Amino acid sequence: MKLSVNGTDHEVDVEDDMPLLWVLRDELNIKGVKYGCGVAACGACTVHIDGVAVRSCQVSAADVDGRVTTIEGLGTPEALHAIQAAWIAHQVAQCGYCQSGQMMQAAALLSEIPDPSDTDIDEALRGNLCRCGTYLRIHAAIKTAAAALRTN
């Protein structure tokens, strides 16, 4: 089957019911997407399919119909996405395990709501868990990224 991931087309030979998470990690060696819970409850595996945030542990490879973007494809080392730059500026990550999923969810939010309220942020990231409790820094980073995106 064919998958478009981070702007590159891939041909993968996997079972149709293999979760996208494992295709990305095991077949394509894309390690930014993380396994957290396997039941879409934590958000560590969040990626975009055509700009929509989805839990890759719950999407089978055969059901992917669109372009997949992982944290590796959100920006580049030369031109970070505003959310990545804000995460660094606010020193959001502690252990960092959940952060790629948090950033992917936040980027999807900002594409839908350019100036989110705290309630918008809470609702959008409700299912993304951070064991280190960096939620205040996550909020601040999202606000900073939103402001940066509006000025560009």
* pLDDT score at 11: 96
**Is 3.40.50.300 the CATH classification of the domain at 82-151?**
no
Which pTM does this prediction carry? 0.95
Contacts of 47 (CB under 8 A, 6+ apart): 20, 24, 33, 53, 54, 56, 68, 69, 70, 104
pLDDT tens digits, 51-100? 999 999 999 999 999 999 999 999 988 999 999 999 999 999 988 899 99
**Domains 2-74 and 82-151 in one fold:** no
Q: Cα dihedral angle (123, 128, 130, 134), rounded to 10 degrees?
A: -40
* CATH of the domain spanning 2-74: 3.10.20.30
Question: Which tops the pLDDT comparison, 151 or 120?
Answer: 120
Residue-wise pLDDT for 22-37, tens only, equals 999 999 999 999 999 9
Closest CA to 48 of 22, 72, 84: 72
